[in-house]
Amino acid sequence: MELDSVTRYQMQVLFPILRRHLKGDEKILLDFGSGPGRFTPALAELINGRAIGVDPVQRFLDMAPRTERVEYRLLENGRIPLPDNSVDVV
């Protein structure tokens, strides 16, 4: 599938850049605009922690892959459904 190859390419390009900016003690990552979670599980693995995908489209969140270290939340009224200062990486 072409989308899979595009996703792999994007991860090959973007993840090393993100990795260089991590301190190594990050435990929770916010994947803002996660859509159907193409990157969310891999982002949780990247930080060896948890990832929370947030998107305004419930249908996308319903399609997203579920794992033990990933959860998804709906963006409502333009507000991120998380307490202030509750994530380490956005």
Kindly list the structural domains of the chain, giving each domain's residue range(s) and its CATH number in brackets, ordered by start: 2-74 (3.40.50.150)
H/E run at residue 29: strand 28-32
Distance CA 16, CA 47 (A): 12
Q: Show pLDDT as tens, one digit a residue, over the chain (90 residues).
A: 687 888 898 989 999 999 999 999 999 999 999 999 999 999 999 999 999 999 999 999 999 999 999 999 999 999 999 999 999 999
**How many other C-beta atoms are found inside a 10 Å radius of the C-beta of residue 19?**
11
To the question of pTM greater than 0.85 for the whole model, the response is: yes
